Copies of this chain bind each other. A is one copy, B any other.
Amino acid sequence: MMSVRTIDELDTPAVLIDLDRLESNIQRMAGYCRERGLALRPHTKTHKNPGIAKLQIEAGARGITVAKPGEAEVMVNAGIDDVLLAYPIVGDAKAARVAELATKARVRVSLDSLEAIRGLSQQAAARSVELGILLEIDAGFGRCGVASPEAALALARAAADSPGLRFDGLMFYPGHIKRPAAEQDPLIEAVNQRLAAHYAAFLRAGMPITTVSGGSTATAYRSHDFHGVSEIRPGMYAFLDRNMVTIGVGTFEECAISVLVTVVSDAVPKRVMLDGGSKTFSSDAMFVGDGRGYGYVINHPDAEFIGLSEEHGHVDVSLCARAPRVGQRLRVVPNHVCTTINMHDRVYGVRGDQVEREIEVAARGRVQ
């Protein structure tokens, strides 16, 4: 299958992973976590590939994070033995699959409802396995997680009292902090106030917390400022993307992902069309910055990627000194690495101009 030797021989569109940069980004985060005494549990939704997950573990990660049981199955079946499902597992079918995984690996689940506790307990007890439970608290994002320490404590007790479950601690996702955190960052301080209220309640109740799992790529290198956090779950850090560069987490020169595309039409004045649209890049708009644009055109920063059809990337070239023409190939850093990779069955690991290997997006599309 893999007879291609150089990037020039790849047909387009194709997602390229710069392996040197990937390895460097993986090492950098592993080094930060080592220095700060934090456990690293990368969210593998970004790449969905067990081989890259193993690179992260070899560099020092304690285990991995996934969202859906189908993703966990791909990872555990590939030999990864420590998985957090950072997603509420609701329904007997999924609870049974998660309990089944616990016969092969150390499995923890985050949750925020009695329904999830009951379902997981029943399935775990039936298999005589133990699932670690992290109670999700809302750090201010307003997505999942309980708000009050009383609610957290009640659910933690229910988990601790349920056969097959072991209460391990708290989890949160600071998804509302969409910029790299600063020193004495007021958004982090607000999270710390919420965390402190929970810690106090659990301490008063004599309920031990052994893990506090937090972290996102935007905040990752300030994780030591979140009080009590023992583990972090960044995903995008290994690749970076236009969102992360825009907020200053890294530079385009550190981005390990780009999409190789071809100009397929320049018939309309001031426009060229790329052979990748939302089916290649996903339709994710920027979630930081001014919200405009669908990618950064490397070597043509004066070309503005202004729109997406499913198979067309609409590029405004009115400011280009020399606009790209039909047949020319470009490389584009996508807005969002996770959703871009999920559009593809395989991506290509490259070093310089050489294609080193195909990388199967093995857990792609596992929505269940």
Contacts and interface: CB of A to CB of B under 8 A. Distances in A.
A263 B144 CA distance: 11
A13 B366 CA distance: 10
Number of chain A interface residues as a range: 35 or more
Nearest to A175: B309
A311 B12 contact: no
A199 interface: no
Interface residue SS majority, chain A: loop
Interface in A119-137: 136
A217 interface: no
A185 to B, nearest CB: 22
B91 A262 contact: yes
A271 B339 CA distance: 24
Interface stretch (A57-65, A239-247, A276-284): A276-284
Contact of A282 (B264, B267, B271, B278): B278
Interface stretch (A110-118, A157-165, A226-234, A352-360): A110-118
Given A264-B88, A326-B113, A271 B365 contact: no
Interface in A66-115: 67-68, 87-88, 90-91, 93-94, 112-113, 115
Interface string A323-362: 0001100000000001100111100000000000000000
Given A145-B268, A175-B309, 4 more contacts: A68-B311, A115-B327, A143-B312, A279-B365
